[in-house]
Structure 1
Amino acid sequence: MTLTERVLARADELSGELVEIRRDLHANPELSWNEQRTSRRVLDRLTAAGLSPVPIGDTGVLVDIGSNEGPVVALRADLDALPVPDLTEDPWRSTVEGVAHACGHDVHTTGLLGAGIALASVADELPGRVRLVFQPAEEIMPGGALAAIQAGALDGVTSIFGLHCDPGVDVGSLGLREGPITGAADSLDVRLTGNGGHTSRPHLTEDLTFALGKLITELPAVLSRRLDPRAGVSVVWGLVRAGSAMNVIPAIGRAAGTVRMLDAVAWADAETLVTEIIQQLVEPYGVKPEVIYVRGVPPVINEHASTVLLGQAIETVVGADGLLPTTQSLGGEDFAWYLEQVPGAMARLGTRTPGGPTYDLHQGNLRVDDRAVAIAAKVLAVAALGALTRDL
């Protein structure tokens, strides 16, 4: 058997265990920067496989597989869950109130764990090293990738690969494209203050609620005229809050949401432009804005050679029919920060049961087909082997 065939066979042997681990992680989700139990589970299993993992700060794990001279190929998964209630009725549904793996990071983590264990079985024969990066805090901005990079995740790395669940694609298929596959994403939090008062006398106050309404409707509209339409800018508010009584104009209001766009060039100027427009929009109403703008992530841009290699790995595992084209989304992914420094690629892992319902990410009813876990493990492992050979 070839090295690839042996790694695939080992991943198949692990498939039952990987499903059990994934369900355990799903039942015990942890929020960003609090992934202690998840990290321990990963660290313990890697140690049992004969590896020497090390923690990244309080949460997260790094481990190198192999000791031979040669290239270093990184594989990355994210550990954290979302502050979303689990609405499923599966026996392995979340046991943590208000927290769920509604983005599939339990699948990402377990798939990478399976790839690592399978690669560990041939560690001495690897023409270089494979580095597993179990990263915390992908779900917040600017994301845990920057902390992982600072901790040495990319030291000596020649290329990096990752997967992200796609519940709109059947299990057994993966989506891939060269170039941008996600959008840039930033967070925006605007606090307005003014002199409140009686609703019968708005002219004696700063009508903060009216100003807040103009802000939340006009900012997206103005940006659509100030930026090239091809940038695909999208401002969506997730929180709007002001007042506590129907006949009182409040003195404090708040609107918070995300600013997303497809274009990296437009993203570079977004913070300055958004802040300027907010000042202009609320100035006529006499209220004072405090703008907290956090640059989150640039687009994930798949490099050509790495995309070709990842596509070959997908075809090896699921066949040519399982490699699907995909479109660029406005979703943000801090995997982009790794690709700012080294070449690499990310694919979308199908998790939908064929003929079953289509779910969406970041919703509490997300369910994934368990078969996706072993597929993730095999695709990542084969991609690593291919990259080690290519980068020699």
Structure 2
Amino acid sequence: MTTLQQQLADLLKHYEEETIQLRRHFHENPELSFEEVETPKTIAAFHRALGHEVREGVGGNGVVAKLVGGKPGKTVALRADFDALAITEETGLPFQSKIKGRMHACGHDGHTASLLILAKAFNQMKDDLEGTIVFIHQHAEELAPGGAISMIRDGCLEGVDVIFGTHLWAPSDLGKVQTAKGPLMAAADGIYITIKGKGGHGSNPSDTKDSIVLAAQFITNLQQLVARRINPLRPAVVSIGHIEALNPFNVIADQVYMKGTVRTFHEEERSLLEHEIEELLKATCYLTKADYEYEYVRGYPPVVNHDAETEHIMASAEKIADVETVEIVDPNMGGEDFAYFLEEIPGAFFFTGAKNPDWEEVYPHHHPKFDIDERSLRIAANVLGQATLDYFAKNN
């Protein structure tokens, strides 16, 4: 273990309680995507107290801080997101969200706390650092168009050579670091559909164009697109998550509104599904000469890791005492706008296991009872920090 590696590990251990308290502060005070006000203020004040160069309002509500090391070298960017979700928390934790209908149900509070304490540790090591570190605190990851793309357009990556980021991952055991070369997370698109039939009395269906029956046929047949139109070796998901036809019990709906998501990893399948969903919708409505509206909204592109940087992250993670397993995993169908950073510069994204081994039940991300093992905060910071040190050493 090098002197800098040991110093970093010792500092992060020393500041572990402060990391946890920061996470709990953000957890108690969640702010929704594009509505973040106090969170970025807290982040900016933390960095200013360390003497870092700070820019607020980057691409909207983002914050970018810069730490210049004592020796010249490359520039590494580290990213953490800080927005919450429109969910009412049901964990019963003593630091549960103070605001009904808002909750950190995805770990972004932990991402932010980890990066802030890593910045504090690096600040104490700055005279020995052989390069510059850019801390990208991103707003609005949860809601497209997301904060990453606007922060990039506002210059957050200027002069940056490489970028690393992590997601605290509740389904994976504490002590695991997981990643993949190439695609790691899927493109996340949205579909918005209205079937326009002809309403009427429930006792006389022959006088109507029953939009509910058409919607049911469409949803059932929709899954055949994945089963019969997509190569089984190329993952894809089409899910309808919302259907609405508000009527009394004895009224056949005039129209039905639906929305859902499409997840793919390759442009070929993405474009195919965009086209074929409408073709299926058109054919379904033709049965009764009903009409429709269809909108396919392209969301985040897939998160595609760069091979060399992925190997770099894995090698750095192997050096961390608290990391028990470093492994390549199958791509995940979730979406992440870290994808935009990887389209611009080399980098890698990875999952930091956050599942407490003593918990009988682990709730998934975006669940009202979602929680993480707070020991994962230090592991996440340590892997990001070690990857930074190793990158400086390798490239200087």
Provide TM-score, normalisation by structure 1: 0.94
**Residue in 2 that maps onto 1:364:** 368
**Residue in 2 that maps onto 1:313:** 316
Q: What's the offset of the Cα at 1:298?
A: 2.3
- 2:13 is equivalent to residue 12 of structure 1: yes
Q: What's the offset of the Cα at 1:42?
A: 1.0
**Residue in 2 that maps onto 1:328:** 331
Q: What's the offset of the Cα at 1:90?
A: 0.8
Contact kept, 8 Å, 1:264 with 1:299, in 2: the verdict is no
Q: What letter is aligned with 1:27?
A: E
**Residue in 1 that maps onto 2:28:** 27
Unaligned runs of 5+ in 1: none
- 2:373 is equivalent to residue 375 of structure 1: no
Query: For residues 117 and 278 of structure 1, do their structure 2 counterparts lie closer, same or farther at Cα, with a shift above 3 Å needed?
Result: farther
Q: What's the offset of the Cα at 1:319?
A: 5.7
**How far apart, CA to CA, are the structure 2 residues paired with 1:390 and 1:203?**
74
Query: For residues 119 and 343 of structure 1, do their structure 2 counterparts lie closer, same or farther at Cα, with a shift above 3 Å needed?
Result: same
Which digits, 9 at most, give the CA deviation of each residue in 1:14-35, with x for residues without a partner? 2111100100111111111112
Structure 2 counterparts to residues 201-240 of structure 1, below 5 A = 201-240=204-243
**Residue in 1 that maps onto 2:253:** 250
- 2:62 is equivalent to residue 60 of structure 1: yes
Contact kept, 8 Å, 1:141 with 1:186, in 2: the verdict is no
**Residue in 1 that maps onto 2:180:** 177
DSSP 3-state at the match of 1:213: helix
Contact kept, 8 Å, 1:243 with 1:252, in 2: the verdict is no
Query: For residues 268 and 63 of structure 1, do their structure 2 counterparts lie closer, same or farther at Cα, with a shift above 3 Å needed?
Result: farther
**How far apart, CA to CA, are the structure 2 residues paired with 1:26 and 1:139?**
16
Query: For residues 391 and 215 of structure 1, do their structure 2 counterparts lie closer, same or farther at Cα, with a shift above 3 Å needed?
Result: farther
Q: What's the offset of the Cα at 1:252?
A: 2.5
- 2:98 is equivalent to residue 95 of structure 1: yes
**How far apart, CA to CA, are the structure 2 residues paired with 1:159 and 1:14?**
26
- 2:137 is equivalent to residue 134 of structure 1: yes
Q: What's the offset of the Cα at 1:332?
A: 1.0
Q: What's the offset of the Cα at 1:363?
A: 0.7
**How far apart, CA to CA, are the structure 2 residues paired with 1:16 and 1:321?**
22
Structure 2 counterparts to residues 138-217 of structure 1, below 5 A = 138-217=141-220
Contact kept, 8 Å, 2:218 with 2:280, in 1: the verdict is no
Q: What's the offset of the Cα at 1:269?
A: 4.1
**How far apart, CA to CA, are the structure 2 residues paired with 1:226 and 1:40?**
49
Equivalent position to 1:389, from 382, 390, 393: 393
DSSP 3-state at the match of 1:243: coil
DSSP 3-state at the match of 1:153: coil
Q: What's the offset of the Cα at 1:178?
A: 1.9
Q: What letter is aligned with 1:16?
A: E
Identity of aligned residues (%): 34
Contact kept, 8 Å, 1:53 with 1:61, in 2: the verdict is yes
**How far apart, CA to CA, are the structure 2 residues paired with 1:267 and 1:76?**
27
DSSP 3-state at the match of 1:86: coil
| Bigger mean CA deviation after superposition, 281-290 or 48-57 | 281-290
**Residue in 2 that maps onto 1:286:** 289
| Bigger mean CA deviation after superposition, 262-271 or 162-171 | 262-271
**How far apart, CA to CA, are the structure 1 residues paired with 2:254 and 2:31?**
36
Query: For residues 132 and 265 of structure 1, do their structure 2 counterparts lie closer, same or farther at Cα, with a shift above 3 Å needed?
Result: farther
DSSP 3-state at the match of 1:21: helix
Contact kept, 8 Å, 1:315 with 1:323, in 2: the verdict is yes
Q: What's the offset of the Cα at 1:351?
A: 1.0
**Residue in 2 that maps onto 1:301:** 304
**Residue in 1 that maps onto 2:128:** 125
Provide TM-score, normalisation by structure 2: 0.93
Q: What letter is aligned with 1:24?
A: H
Which digits, 9 at most, give the CA deviation of each residue in 1:240-261, with x for residues without a partner? 1113112112223111111112
Unaligned runs of 5+ in 2: none
Contact kept, 8 Å, 1:195 with 1:251, in 2: the verdict is yes
DSSP 3-state at the match of 1:187: strand
Which digits, 9 at most, give the CA deviation of each residue in 1:155-202, with x for residues without a partner? 222211111121122222222222222122111111222331122333
| Bigger mean CA deviation after superposition, 120-129 or 15-24 | 120-129
**How far apart, CA to CA, are the structure 1 residues paired with 2:17 and 2:172?**
22
**How many pairs align?**
392
CA RMSD of aligned residues (A): 1.9
Q: What's the offset of the Cα at 1:13?
A: 2.1
